[in-house]
Structure 1
């Protein structure tokens, strides 16, 4: 959707045979025109459009204020305050649309800052992959990481470190989950997107499936490239309250096809099964929740987030993925014992206990960054982005 020039008329005027739409008011940048755009836009795309309480637009000084006032109380994610940045993914500009949230990282190589093998205290070999977002380029980096793990002999467990992952493109999360599984998962539902009841046709054609091939190419691996699949029945996910949106889709989708997902962390994930597209108008970009995602079992109601099975307190002074990383040590303890480490009242192991376990680190195949800046932010705007501009 292109940003309309402000001032002057809209999109050619409304057709008298139909009710006015947001397209008719797009680019009408008077205060009244912008509010008419907001109300029409929400009525068309908002997941909970039928729960909106009608309000007098004259009582609000700006269109973003009016937009926020119209949102239903349960909506924690829609936003109408950001200026349109014009950001489009480099290699998917023609097919992808951006959604709400400040980009955590756009630098090449930062999405997957580390991957390696580690050895547990009990002698098990595990792959460790840290994924800080699912933005453009993450899929290529993930394939490189999984190719490395696939080439190692005797990898018994996988630890996906998503503690800083605020989300990103759904196609990238789809590829990540598909590489955990076996080729037999091909064609099973990864996530179904449910739009409002005015948009049933879009709901019917917006289903993502587990796959053994690259579906949406980035720069390094073309469409049709076979994905390296680890064929694991169990995966450990290191999480935090920053783990959001597309990263939560990885957890939910794998559980939907009966892959055991052991979540290790201090608190529940952010709880965002919803998604949206950017809709710019008159210099403001609006993000209204448009759909909810459901796994193969029809589950998508995790607004309270995913609670860790192993409650382990993270330590911000310790480098993630290193020998003293409490979350990684907790996952490897479970891999050895099939139980969570005993410890404090919060369920976390004591620091002395972790140090005594003597976590052995194997080859670090790729590493570029420590804790990202997002780790110190008070919150995160999750993303759940679609790889198609027109559903």
Structure 2
């Protein structure tokens, strides 16, 4: 079994020289212990990153980033080695320390290179807090003519107070025509309104209910939103089929996941539909917990959930922790990711002991969520995928603090118990058609997201298809909105596009290892 101590699960742990805690911040002060005048740069020659660790002066920080990236970045040999002294700003230099190569399908290999102030990262990862109004949208078309629809709203949020719900389409943001805006200045207004980066942003929206065509103008103030990670726990088919919505793998999700599986186990469900259509990822070990609670001990005994693979400089030892590389097992105990866990770490997890599971997906199903699919398939659990092509992110990182900034740089990929892990173009239901990408085909049905019904409604297209497939083994005619969310054709144009570039969003869409 694989147990993280509480200290090992939270951000603050500092157990290896590549990762420190504290510091005076990423500024241009002279608070570091190394004299910048003594630091030299020779192309292709790298000092150990430990020499610069927590030396909080701009040039020292950039040299730390350079050496740390060379040591740990998955594609370290694809980074162009530049003199840190010639780039202004620590974060500007960090932005250069990644690959610019693309996958075979033409997508950027690394879209998730980012950073956050460490206190913001702690708030996000531990409590699920982000800035916004409490609604999530799906960008069906990012460039004109645009379309964006609310997918769900968070309980007790400004959006919920305004009675916004799934199926409300964005028409205007602060007086700018969302659908037809053509200038960069207009799109900047759209992005600032839809994706606020701090509390207090007041924005006026016009929405249209796609079911009634009624339009509504609402004004909301952005605030700190604590998202609901797990909800909508239900049963169908005379109690034989369990269902719940799983939105993110963060620290506060562990207890509600524990409760959801206990509830469904007590009801003796025979099948499970897990709705991860908007789950962008998060903690990898939580994905292994979910997989264990689906499959149980007998189905996972002696099998690994994922073997993590770092760059070719580190075939034996983990470059972050210094420990010998060991695969991630199917975790059968409560870890205690949160700072004050509601359940004692080490408490056995419940399980449904299923040999198959139905997973509802869209292009917003990313990384740790995809790891659930891949890990179960590696253990010979039948995964039936209902919905759309997942996003394709088999990569992950350790959040790493230096001088009060936490950096997120791709450091590993992974393979399942059968040695498979190449799904950079995502997973897609077997009968999907027309994709320009090369997804891994999974048994199931291609179904477009249905905004005319609420999530958990038995008549909603993905859920109703899963129930019908369980009964008949057949699919309706394949349908989908885009070949792959996030890589819709509009995103390849040069016209101004609406997109959420906030670090918090980019960081969510990954597999995260903490210690």
- TM-aligned CA deviation for residue 249 of structure 1: 0.8
Unmatched tracts of structure 2, length 5 or more: 1-19, 40-44, 102-108, 137-153, 155-223, 431-444, 483-497
RMSD: 3.4
Cα gap change, 1:215 to 1:70, in 2 (>3 Å): closer
Higher relative contact order (Cα pairs below 8 Å, separated by 6+ residues): 1
- Corresponding residue for residue 371 of structure 1: none
- Corresponding residue for residue 512 of structure 2: 385
- 2:70 is aligned, of 43, 56, 78, to 43
Q: Does 1:177 align with 2:291?
A: yes
Q: Give matches, 1:238-387, under 5 Å.
A: 238-266=360-388, 268-282=389-403, 284-309=405-430, 310-342=445-477, 380-381=505-506, 382-387=509-514
Cα gap change, 1:243 to 1:344, in 2 (>3 Å): closer
- Corresponding residue for residue 370 of structure 1: none
Partners of 2:86 and 2:451 lie apart in 1 by 45
Partners of 1:345 and 1:71 lie apart in 2 by 33
Cα gap change, 1:102 to 1:43, in 2 (>3 Å): farther
- Corresponding residue for residue 90 of structure 2: 63
**Is the 2:112–2:410 Cα contact (8 Å) retained in structure 1?**
yes
- 1:25 is aligned, of 43, 48, 52, to 52
- Corresponding residue for residue 214 of structure 1: 334
- Corresponding residue for residue 23 of structure 2: 4
- Corresponding residue for residue 82 of structure 1: 116
Q: Give matches, 1:139-150, under 5 Å.
A: 139-150=254-265
Cα gap change, 1:345 to 1:35, in 2 (>3 Å): closer
Cα gap change, 1:19 to 1:217, in 2 (>3 Å): closer
Unmatched tracts of structure 1, length 5 or more: 348-375
- TM-aligned CA deviation for residue 255 of structure 1: 0.3
**Is the 1:77–1:289 Cα contact (8 Å) retained in structure 2?**
no
**Is the 1:3–1:282 Cα contact (8 Å) retained in structure 2?**
yes
Q: Secondary structure at the match of 2:272?
A: strand
Q: Secondary structure at the match of 2:93?
A: helix
Q: Secondary structure at the match of 2:243?
A: strand
1:197-230 Cα deviation digits (max 9, x unpaired):
3332128434211244334565233233232211
- Corresponding residue for residue 117 of structure 1: 235
- TM-aligned CA deviation for residue 244 of structure 1: 1.1
- TM-aligned CA deviation for residue 115 of structure 1: 1.0
Cα gap change, 1:377 to 1:174, in 2 (>3 Å): farther
Partners of 1:55 and 1:82 lie apart in 2 by 23
Q: Secondary structure at the match of 1:171?
A: helix
Q: Secondary structure at the match of 2:122?
A: coil
**Is the 1:8–1:27 Cα contact (8 Å) retained in structure 2?**
no
Q: TM-score, normalised by structure 2?
A: 0.60
Q: TM-score, normalised by structure 1?
A: 0.78
Cα gap change, 1:377 to 1:108, in 2 (>3 Å): same
- TM-aligned CA deviation for residue 265 of structure 1: 1.1
Cα gap change, 1:213 to 1:240, in 2 (>3 Å): same
Q: Give matches, 1:154-193, under 5 Å.
A: 155-184=269-298, 185-193=300-308
**Is the 1:315–1:326 Cα contact (8 Å) retained in structure 2?**
yes
